[in-house]
């Protein structure tokens, strides 16, 4: 399994959107691109996919940009990665089971399928809301 730049950037940009647009106001691609140091052209491609998947909504015109189409509690990392066009599948054998002559006899195939299910379950259990809650850093107090 390999999560490409698309999947990693989708997660980073959505966490930035959640942090910047906490009041639900749209955030521009250029703002997100600058904050995360990601190409705005590449980010537009990712957000097109996220919009198509119903994760984000877009607002046109001055003050427009992207906001979430549903609550952060309902958006999982698995959903983001899938929408970005990634495939969270462990596969060390023939990628096309239709061409594999050993599918019925291959005991190791079940191990890779089980591991894939575990990885997908892990990412399905993590929401944007839980990431923000667990990893959002509090400002450092001046009295410390």
**Residue 113: HSE in the Cβ half-sphere, 13 Å Cα cutoff:** 8
pLDDT over 80 (residue 144): no
Domain that residue 64 falls in: 5-88+127-135
Sign of the C-alpha dihedral computed for residues 3, 6, 9 and 14 taken in this order: negative
Tell me, yes or no, whether 107 lies in a domain: no
The CATH number covering residue 10 comes to 1.10.10.10
- The tally of domains found in the chain comes to 1
Tell me, yes or no, whether 122 lies in a domain: no
Say which residues have a Cβ less than 8 Å from residue 84's Cβ, sequence separation at least 6.
6, 7, 9, 10, 46, 49, 50
Give the burial class of 61: count Cβ atoms within 10 A of its Cβ; 0-12 exposed, 13-18 middle, 19 or more buried.
exposed
pLDDT over 50 (residue 141): no
Q: Name the pTM for this structure.
A: 0.81
Q: What is the pLDDT of residues 37-67, one digit of tens each?
A: 999 999 999 999 999 999 999 999 888 899 9
Report the C-alpha gap between 36 and 21 in whole angstroms: 14
Assigned token pair, 122: 């892990």
Residue appearing with tokens 């060390």 = 92
Tell me, yes or no, whether 77 lies in a domain: yes
Tell me, yes or no, whether 70 lies in a domain: yes
């Amino acid at each position: 399994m390999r999560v490409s730049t698309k999947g990693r950037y989708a997660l980073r940009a959505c966490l930035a959107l959640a942090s910047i647009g906490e009041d639900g106001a749209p955030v521009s691609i250029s703002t997100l691109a600058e904050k995360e140091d990601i190409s705005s052209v590449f980010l537009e491609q990712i957000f097109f996919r996220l919009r198509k998947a119903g994760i984000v909504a877009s607002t046109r015109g001055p003050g427009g940009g992207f906001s979430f189409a549903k609550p952060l509690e309902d958006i999982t990392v698995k959903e983001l990665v899938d929408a970005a066009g990634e495939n969270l599948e462990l596969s060390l054998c023939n990628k096309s089971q239709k061409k594999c002559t050993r599918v019925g006899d291959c005991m190791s195939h079940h191990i890779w399928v089980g591991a894939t299910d575990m990885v997908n379950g892990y990412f399905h259990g993590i929401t944007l809301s839980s990431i923000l809650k667990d990893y959002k850093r509090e400002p450092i107090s001046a009295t410390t």
